[in-house]
Every structure is written in structure tokens, then in C-alpha cells.
Structure 1
Amino acid sequence: MKFHIENMTCGGCARGVTSAIKAVDPAASIAADPPTRTVNVETMVARDEIVSALINAGFSPASE
């Protein structure tokens, strides 16, 4: 699944996004790209759970 996260603007933000997703699925494969503000996630966890984790961490994801 792919998300656009408008407020992910730096490496620190990317680490926060990664940590939020890993808290829900430690086995997830995550590729965060701050310059394009996109995150690609390979996970077996439902999209809603990932979205909730991101929102709880202060990031507002939009599906791409």
C-alpha cells in the first residue's frame, strides 16, 4: 500500500512514520521518501490499522 503524508518533510519524520508502522507490524517492509512525501508499505496488517497508527503518531496519510 502507498500513502502520501504531507507533513513528512525530513528524515526524523520518516523515522517517526516507520516507528508507528513497525509498532503495528514489526515485520512490515517500509520505504519512506521525505522529498516526495510518500511511504510504500508491504504488510499483512489491514490498511485501517496502519492509517490509525499513523494518525496517532501525528501524521495524516492520504492513499495514493
Structure 2
Amino acid sequence: MYVYEVKNMTCGGCVNGVKKAVLTVDPNAQVEVDLATKKVTVESTHPSTEFVDALTTAQYDARTAH
């Protein structure tokens, strides 16, 4: 499981965009988005970097949460 912080996620449209970006990498991924905390949780067997790259390409400021 991976957890990312997406600082520029501000609305429901962003939530949908984030989910879409994650699912382009792995259509079978389990994605949970918490807009209030700006955290995205992804359960997948794909490498974490692929999701960061996809989110960045979709113009979201995504970083691995600590």
C-alpha cells in the first residue's frame, strides 16, 4: 500500500482526476482519496514511482507521504 500527499487537490473534480491518473497506471488498483487531508492511498502491485509519475503528468503535486 502506498500513501501520497497531493497538496494541490482542492475539490471533487481533483479527486476524480487523481483517481483517473492512478487507474491509468493500474486499472485494478484500489484507490482511496481523502480530500480533507489531501492524502491518496493506493493498493497495487505496481511500483510507487509509476503513480507519482502519472499524478505529476496529470499536474498534481504528488509526493510520498511520511
Tell me which interval the TM-score lies in, with the shorter structure as reference length.
over 0.9
The structure 1 segments of at least 4 consecutive aligned residues displaced by more than 4 Å after TM superposition are none
Residue correspondence of structure 1 range 20-35 to structure 2 within 5 A: 20-35=21-36
Q: What are the superposed Cα offsets for residues 10-63 of structure 1, whole Å, 9 maximum, x if unpaired?
A: 111010000001001000000001111000000111011111000000101111
Within 1, Cα distance between the matches of 2:32 and 2:49?
Answer: 19
Within 2, Cα distance between the matches of 1:22 and 1:3?
Answer: 15
What percentage of residue pairs aligned between the two structures are identical? 38
**Structure 1 stretches lacking a partner, 5+ long:** none
Within 1, Cα distance between the matches of 2:10 and 2:39?
Answer: 10
Residue 38 of structure 1 corresponds to which residue in structure 2?
39
Q: Which amino acid aligns with 1:25?
A: D
Q: Which amino acid aligns with 1:17?
A: V
Q: Which amino acid aligns with 1:11?
A: G
Within 2, Cα distance between the matches of 1:12 and 1:43?
Answer: 23
Q: CA RMSD in A?
A: 0.6
**Structure 2 stretches lacking a partner, 5+ long:** none
Q: TM-score by structure 2 length?
A: 0.93
